[in-house]
Amino acid sequence: MAMRRYALFSILVLSLFASSIRSEQTETKEFVLTLDHTNFSETINKHDFIVVEFYAPWCGHCKQLAPEYEKAASELSSHVPPVVLAKIDASEETNREFATQYEVQGFPTIKIFRNGGKAVQEYNGPREADGIVSYLKKQSGPASFEIKSADVAAEVVGDKKVVVVGVFPKLSGAEFDSFLATAEKLRSDYDFAHTSDAKFLPRGESVTGPVVRLFKPFDELFVDSKDFDGEALEKFVKESSIPLITVFDKDPNNHPYVIKFFDSPNTKAMLFINFTGEGAETLKSKYREVATSNKGQGLSFLLGDAENSQGAFQYFGLEESQIPLIIIQTVDDKKYLKTNLEVDQIESWVKDFKDGKVAPHKKSQPIPTENNEPVKVVVAESLDDMVFNSGKNVLLEFYAPWCGHCQKLVPILDEVAVSYQSDPSVVIAKLDATANDFPHDTFDVKGFPTIYFRSASGNIVVYEGDRTKEDIISFIDKNKDTAGEPTKTEEKTTEEAKDEL
């Protein structure tokens, strides 16, 4: 669950830059295939390589992607062999089974299907036409590219991306096979190449194979490994390709590392400052010291430029007036916050966090001064009082303000709430899940809207029926505790009293 939330977060913070992308769609012919429940499986099965966008018509980022995706599809249609791009409205009721099957957590989500759908990978490339074309041309070819000259090596390795190169005296054998298998598995995230002559590589004169050298444009610039066990090789690639400190700013070259940062299973420390402000370099230097001293201890570090971190501020419920600030998010989604940070507080505060001396931070909207509408507003600070400790039967909708399906549900929930106005034991409520923290181990919210029901006695059930007034009322009546019915606690007390008599 935590990994899915981090993935959604990385999409949110990077979406800030999507608004700067502009393109013109001049083609009259549509090159993107439109799929639905009638042709999805058949289409996937007959292609060795096909790319599918899972979208929703109301999704703003999907609309921004559409002309770029169509432009890329047009260009890739003339590639040899052609690369097919398709799309499916995953919000349509009849198509939702595919969104569930392929674990689509947000829109747009792009998947690469290989070998008739036998292998499925995430698309982790750019979202503009030229970048999409370049990325998919690589993805449709071999998982690892053979380097046969120093000029080719210089072009493949470059100095702005992570590249994994295997060096093998002979391009065969168990080590070579393990390398190719890892390349195939991780190809959507990393570039792989191989060579039989290490002298083609930068600083490769003293290298003897078999060995894997990972080149990177940060920290020590390259690292080597001679462990060809599949799991060990995969771990080496993933861990070595993340900077000691991931930088989040307006440079698009840094964005892939931001995604990898949030894909990491580590606890995440994030420092947000004004990169051009007074004292910025001192803060950066001290933060690097702290990151270095905590290397290998399950704690990853990110440095964000406040000017370009509005998505992060929105996600965590922060304000620019609070910078410099540091926030730590654990794997169980607890958050710890220190605002208006001084440079000499960084090291001691991180140590206090590790020692369990820092209290968790809870993101919450203010508790409403008036809450008189039929559907009650719940925020993080009122969740216990209005849901867990209310002694009432509560239907709680988790929504996002931008969600089209949530907006369609508004009048329906209003009608449901009105129908229970004469029954004080039933409460219909809603919580903005983008602005309030909530216990994810209790409420498994993967998309919007998600509806849960908690009975007066504490039974929690997710609502998966049709979003109609009649079906929701039927669900509530089936699961609620009726007036006068003893709760589990009362039943236990009664049984204990009987035992004592």
pLDDT digits (tens, 9 = 90+) for 145-154: 999 999 999 9
- Split at pLDDT 50, 70, 90, the class of 130 is very high
Query: What is the spatial distance between Cα 314 and Cα 462, in angstroms, rounded to a whole number?
Result: 27
What pLDDT does 447 receive? Answer: 83
Query: What is the spatial distance between Cα 126 and Cα 252, in angstroms, rounded to a whole number?
Result: 9
Which homologous superfamily does the CATH classification assign to the domain defined by 33-140? Glutaredoxin (3.40.30.10)
- Split at pLDDT 50, 70, 90, the class of 14 is low
Does the pLDDT value for residue 496 go beyond 50? no
Q: What is the pLDDT of residues 412-443, one digit of tens each?
A: 999 999 999 999 999 999 999 999 999 988 99
CA dist 107 → 45, 81, 104, 191, 320 (Å)? 24, 29, 8, 26, 28
Q: What is the pLDDT of residues 353-385, one digit of tens each?
A: 999 999 999 889 999 999 999 999 999 999 999
Contact 329, 270 (CB under 8 A): yes
Query: What is the spatial distance between Cα 31 and Cα 141, in angstroms, rounded to a whole number?
Result: 21
- Split at pLDDT 50, 70, 90, the class of 493 is very low
Please give the mean pLDDT across all residues of the chain.
89
Query: What is the spatial distance between Cα 383 and Cα 367, in angstroms, rounded to a whole number?
Result: 10
Query: What is the spatial distance between Cα 420 and Cα 429, in angstroms, rounded to a whole number?
Result: 12
Does the pLDDT value for residue 465 go beyond 60? yes
Q: Which residues fall within 8 angstroms of residue 335, CB to CB, at 6 or more apart?
A: 316, 327, 328, 329, 360, 361, 362, 363, 437
Does the pLDDT value for residue 205 go beyond 90? no
Query: What is the spatial distance between Cα 77 and Cα 154, in angstroms, rounded to a whole number?
Result: 30
Query: What's the average model confidence in pLDDT over 109-114?
Result: 96
What pLDDT does 309 receive? Answer: 87
Which homologous superfamily does the CATH classification assign to the domain defined by 376-479? Glutaredoxin (3.40.30.10)
Contact 11, 75 (CB under 8 A): no
What pLDDT does 494 receive? Answer: 40
Closest to 391 (Cα-Cα) out of 368, 424, 345: 424
Contact 183, 231 (CB under 8 A): no
Q: How far is CA 102 from the centre of its chain?
A: 15
Query: What's the average model confidence in pLDDT over 189-208?
Result: 89
What pLDDT does 486 receive? Answer: 47
What pLDDT does 106 receive? Answer: 85
Q: What is the pLDDT of residues 322-341, one digit of tens each?
A: 999 999 999 988 999 999 99
What pLDDT does 333 receive? Answer: 84
Query: What's the average model confidence in pLDDT over 109-120?
Result: 95
> What's domain 145-241's architecture?
3-Layer(aba) Sandwich (3.40)
Burial (CB < 10 A; 0-12, 13-18, 19+), residue 473, is: middle
What pLDDT does 207 receive? Answer: 85
What pLDDT does 13 receive? Answer: 53
Residues acting as catalytic residues: 59, 62, 403, 406
What pLDDT does 483 receive? Answer: 56
- Split at pLDDT 50, 70, 90, the class of 387 is very high
Query: What's the average model confidence in pLDDT over 4-12?
Result: 51
Give the rounded percent of residues in the chain with a pLDDT score beyond 70. Answer: 91
> What's domain 245-355's architecture?
3-Layer(aba) Sandwich (3.40)
Q: What is the pLDDT of residues 61-84, one digit of tens each?
A: 999 999 999 999 999 999 989 999
Does the pLDDT value for residue 12 go beyond 70? no
- Split at pLDDT 50, 70, 90, the class of 23 is very low
What pLDDT does 69 receive? Answer: 97
Where do the CATH 3.40.30.10 domains begin and end in the chain? 33-140, 145-241, 245-355, 376-479
Query: What is the spatial distance between Cα 114 and Cα 112, in angstroms, rounded to a whole number?
Result: 7
